[in-house]
Chains A and B, each alone.
Chain A
Amino acid sequence: MATATKERIYSVLAEFGSAGELLHAAEKVRDAGYKKFDCHSPFPIHGMDRAMGLKRSKVGYIAGICGLCGGAFAMWLQGWTSTVDYPLVISGKPLFSWQAYIIVTFGLTILGAALGAVIGMLVLNRLPQWFHGNFYSESFKRFSDDAFFMSIEADDPKFDVDRVSEFLKSLGGRTVEVVKGA
C-alpha cells in the first residue's frame, strides 16, 4: 500500500478477531499509556468504555441544558404575549392561564433536549468528518461490516511506527497496517 512519495503516516491499524479480543487489546493499549487510540467495531461493544478508560459522555448535560432553555422560552413566550404584549380576554379566563401553557412548554422542552442531544453528539464526535486518515486503509472499511480494528494515531505523544506496530502485533492483531496517505 505504501507507495507514493511524501506521504505522511496517519495511524497504525490492527485488526482483531472478535469483539472480545479487541476489548482485551484495548485494556492493554490503555495501560500502555496511549491516549490517541480508538477501537472500531460494527456495533458498540459492551464494556469497551472502561477498557479504553473513557470518561462518561457529556451529551447528557448538553441535552439537559437545551431542554431547560426550550421550556423556559416557551413559558416566557406564552406568558408575555398573552399578558404583557396583547392581553385579550378569551372565554373569560385569566390572562396568564399557565395550565393551558403547559403543553407547549413541555413540547419545546422535549424539542430542545432532542436537538441538544443530536447536535451535541455530532459536535463531540466531530461529525460530519468526511475525510479521515483511517480511510486511506483499504481494509479499514470492513469495520462497518464484521471486522474489529484498533487504531493508534500518529499524533499520539508516545507514537512511534515500529514500536506501535510491534505492540499491536503482540496484542494479537491479525494484521497490522501502517496507514499512509497524502
Chain B
Amino acid sequence: MKRRSSDAIAVPIRGGIVATICAGILLGGAVSALGEDVDPLNGIQKYRDMLKDDNPAELSEMSGEALWTTPRGPRQATLEACDLGLGPGVIEGAYARLPRWFPDVARVQDIESRLVTCMTTLQGMTAEQATKDWTNPGSDLENLVTYVAGKSLGVPIDVPALHPREAELAAIGEVLFFRRAGPLDFACATCHSQDGRRIRLQDLPNFLDPESARGSMTTWPAYRVSQSAVWTMERRLIDCIRQMRQPEPEFGSELLIALQVWLQKQANGGAMAAPGMKR
C-alpha cells in the first residue's frame, strides 16, 4: 500500500502570486511530528487480509445466475439470449467492455441499463418492474450485475471509447469529474486526484493514475461490509454524489454513464477481480 506523510499542501498551485504569499502564512502547512507516528494502517491491513476470502458477494453471484437462467416476466423468458455487447448470450468478458455503444438502442449503456433493456425486450417487463427496489440489499439487478461481472474475472478492462458517442461521453465524464458544486464545493477530484490519500482510514483511489484507477474499477461490484450488501458501480457513484451533498442523479442517467466511460477508460488494461469486498 502506498502511503505518504500527511504534510503536503492540499492542492498544488502553479506559480501564482497569491499562492506564493499564501503559502507563507498557511497555518496548516507545517509538518507535525505528532500524529505522524500513529500508523493504524498495519492493523487495518490485517483486517482486510482476514476478510479476503469467503466474500458474501458469492451469494449474490449465485442469485444472479439463477435470475439469468430462470424464465421470468410476462414472456416467461430467461436472459440467456441477452446481448451484452459480445453477441446474444455471451457473458464471459462482457462486463470488462462496458459501458459501450449499442446500435439497437442507439445509445451508450452500462451494465445496469443494458440488463434493463434485456429484461424489457426479452422478458417483457416494464422498466419500472426491472428496476424495482434496485437499491435494496440483495436486489435482482445488483445480483445480476454481480453475476455478469464475475464472468469477467481476469479479463482486462477494455473501454477505448472509440465510437463517437463513447468518446463524447468520456470527455464529458472528465469535465464532470472535476466539476465542483454544492455547499461543500466538492467534485470527484476533491478526493480522487492525488496518490496515497484517505478519508479517515479509507484509501482513496486516484483516478488520474491508471494503476490506482485499475485497482478500483476492477474490484466493483463489491460487497460492502458497512452496508451488508453488494453495491454496483452505479450505486457507488450515486452515493459519492449524495456524500458530496448534491441531488441523486437518476438511475441509468447520462451523467452516470459518462463518468463510468471515463473511469473505465482510465482503468483500461486492469484485469477484472470483481466482486470485491470493501468497507
Do A and B come from the same complex? no
Q: Which residues of A contact B (CB under 8 A)?
A: none
